[in-house]
Structure 1
């Protein structure tokens, strides 16, 4: 039996995933979480075999949450299930130790197949993600301006595009507001923007976030 923790900030999505996976033999949904902080706490407490993780969580994003979970509990398997298929998020999450990456456009059969494979110790990357990753490596392919960001810069970018203030970001990441400000302007310089509005526009244009952010 594979114990699964579902992490998504939308009740309807969690209910749908629970119905799909809970109705399949061999899967046991042990808990649900709507934030990264809650996911970390529940993973530590319940020690699930697998975490199904959304990226666009309020506060601590799925990227940072995945990294923290796997640093503390490397035996846990994480499958990312998100609307974001554009670089650099898939590569960063896979590099951080995620065992699978699917978009929410996948069907129930693919989701079940991915969970089965990852639970068995394999990796699973959806066909659309694989295509995006392959295309991004081709010579002459235009690169996203977010490709040059470090994982921490990417995490702060996701928070800024949610409209979070620097003080709130500092509290979530346990750093000083001054440190967040330094990261913020470093991000502006790398991406080529001068305001949070421009940063959001670039994030939308390059598929880093979706329009319902």
Structure 2
């Protein structure tokens, strides 16, 4: 039996995924969470085989959740779910430790196939994303975000959601000085000087959900 937890801040999304998964004779949903913080507690408690995790959530993002699960050496494999269909973002998520990447536009068959494959320790990428990854490797096209570390990308995602340095520091368990260093470093690498310019650049390169908080302001 493949044991699964659902981590997404949209209840309707979790309900849909639960309906699909629980129809499978070899799968079981152990629980669901509406935030990454609650999702991490759920994963630590139940140690499921697979966690379906949304990238864009208030508070801790799916990237940070993925990193924490990997650092804690928990047995749970992460399948990241997002509306973003850009090859460069999954590359960063795979660097953070995610084993699977799906867009929320996937059909039920692909969702089930991804869960089964990741539960066996095999990587799964949505077909469209896998194709873009292959093409980006062939044509040598690179995003400026390729220069960022996973931590710098995480700080960038929080900055475009309007989080101040002190709040980011508290959430990531870092000092404000360290976060300020990450902030300045990523600004220098991307040649931007404020969070609004950063948000526009992230959106242009497919790294930001248009519905994310930072673009609703």
TM-score norm. by structure 1 comes to 0.94
- 1:112-127 to structure 2, matched below 5 A, reads 112-127=112-127
Does the 8 Å CA contact 1:204/1:210 hold for their aligned counterparts?
yes
1:6 is matched with: 6
Deviations 1:126-148 (A, max 9, x none): 1011012112212342x211110
Does the 8 Å CA contact 1:87/1:144 hold for their aligned counterparts?
no
- 1:6-155 to structure 2, matched below 5 A, reads 6-141=6-141, 143-155=142-154
Aligned partner of residue 209 in structure 2, secondary structure: coil
Aligned partner of residue 29 in structure 1, secondary structure: strand
1:162 is matched with: 161
Does the 8 Å CA contact 1:10/1:34 hold for their aligned counterparts?
yes
Deviation of the 1:18 alpha carbon? 0.9
Does the 8 Å CA contact 1:87/1:208 hold for their aligned counterparts?
no
Deviation of the 1:28 alpha carbon? 0.8
**How many Å separate the matches in 2 of 1:61 and 1:118?**
21
**Which is further off, 1-10 or 174-183?**
174-183
**How many Å separate the matches in 2 of 1:139 and 1:108?**
32
Gapped regions of structure 2 (runs ≥ 5) = 213-217
Seen in structure 2, the aligned counterparts of structure 1 residues 64 and 184 have a Cα distance that, compared at 3 Å, is same
Aligned partner of residue 43 in structure 2, secondary structure: helix
Aligned partner of residue 138 in structure 1, secondary structure: helix
Deviations 1:107-137 (A, max 9, x none): 1111111111222332211101101211221
Seen in structure 2, the aligned counterparts of structure 1 residues 186 and 41 have a Cα distance that, compared at 3 Å, is same
**How many Å separate the matches in 2 of 1:50 and 1:15?**
17
**Which is further off, 116-125 or 6-15?**
116-125
TM-score norm. by structure 2 comes to 0.92
Deviation of the 1:89 alpha carbon? 2.1
**Which is further off, 167-176 or 91-100?**
91-100
Deviation of the 1:163 alpha carbon? 1.3
1:179 aligns with 2:207: no
- After TM superposition, which residue ranges in structure 1, 4 or more long, deviate above 3 angstroms? none
Cα RMSD after superposing both structures: 1.4
